[in-house]
Chains A and B, each alone.
Chain A
Amino acid sequence: MTTLTLHIPTVEAGDIVLRAICEDDLDPLATFYAGARSHFVGGPLERADCWRLIAGNLGHWALRGYGMWVISDRASGDPMGICGFIYREGWDEPELGWQVWDGYEGRGIASRAARAARAHGATQFGLDGVISYIDAGNTRSLALAKRLGARFERDGTLLGKPCQVWRHPRASEVAA
């Protein structure tokens, strides 16, 4: 059997680990994309489409050299969500995105993952001062963007739908 080996770094940040997605993540991903919270991030999606998201996530790393990780619990290994960089066709520039899967909300997981991904992107991928596209109705993600130090930049559109564009501070500004 041939395997395509992708160079996806593992990033450790306290009690979470950012790691490459794999087929075993399909169950929690499909559960999330069957639920209402996925409506802010392209859902709902059927299970078969979620499988393609996993393949597409890995292909994104191959095509761009960066992408989105699964956020896993360092102690248990449980997959808890996704965080990282998205630059698909239709995006103005690379975006920092996040989603926390069912049962893991309210623990600050997205915040820690986003900070770790943002710092890694700035030093390793040359992605500094990136944007996040956020649906105006996604109050929890808007609140997180503010806590991360991002600033509202403009109203924009993504794939034909209105959204807000938030700009993250550069790594030098975060450290200062």
Chain B
Amino acid sequence: MSSYPDIPVIETRRLRLRGPEAGDYPDFKATFASYRSRFMGGPLNPYEAWMLYAAEIGHWAVRGFGMWMVHDKLTDETYGMAGGWFPAKWPEREIAWIIWPDKAGKGYALEATHAVRRHLYERQGWDGAVSYIDPKNLDSIRLAERLGCVKDREAATIDGSDAVYRHPAPAAASSGQLRDGIELEIDHYCDPTFRPKGMPID
């Protein structure tokens, strides 16, 4: 399936996470051309988007981890990206995510990021992680909090314009209450009869 045999494939209830491939680029480009990307350095012009996509793939080669492309397990359609991100200038290793603008509100970011964090903790030996989030990016802040992150006001930021959300350490992330809460929420999203009212969340 994957053109990168070295990048592990992660499967969740609805999703399959694989290394980012050339064929997945158009969706990435469209998202980074949109205001959806305004909290992740965008919108980007086509050159900038291509360079970022290439860097996301090369990040795997340099760091040994990186961002996965999030696919629908049944249709293979892409929904966004999630993974580990640690380019130069980042104070700490980050868990990051982005969901394509028309795929938000179905819990894909929660499901993907929950699986990615578990993989990085259990298979790659991470002892913690942060997420750098623009203080105006309320959707991502909500997601971080649902994942059990806590705002860390003491931690170094990338450039002073971002807030640092610290993920629970491996023991806490795998503990019953937090994990069960996340998985119950994912259950709801997987349930076709689940029709939540109110504002959609990632």
> Which residues of A line the B interface, CB within 8 A?
1-6, 22-23, 26, 47-48, 50-52, 54-60, 62-63, 88-90, 159
Cβ-defined contact, A4 with B54, below 8 A = no
Chain A CB within 8 A of B171 CB: no
Cβ-defined contact, A59 with B56, below 8 A = yes
Chain A CB within 8 A of B51 CB: yes
Interface 1/0 per residue, B60-89 and A, CB below 8 Å: 111011100000000000000000000111
Taking A2-B8, A48-B87 as contacts, is the C-beta distance between A63 and B47 under 8 angstroms?
A: no
Chain A CB within 8 A of B6 CB: yes
A57 to B88, CA, bound (A): 15
Q: For A47, what are the chain B residues with a Cβ–Cβ distance below 8 Å?
A: 88-89
Interface 1/0 per residue, B33-67 and A, CB below 8 Å: 00000000000001101111111111111101110
Q: For A3, what are the chain B residues with a Cβ–Cβ distance below 8 Å?
A: 6, 60-61, 64
A173 to B120, CA, bound (A): 53
Q: For A89, what are the chain B residues with a Cβ–Cβ distance below 8 Å?
A: 29, 46-47, 49-50
A169 to B54, CA, bound (A): 29
A101 to B187, CA, bound (A): 55
Nearest opposing residue in chain B for A67, CB measure: B54
Cβ-defined contact, B61 with A52, below 8 A = no
- The residue that B59 contacts in the complex, of A5, A6, A55, A159, with Cβ under 8 A, is A55
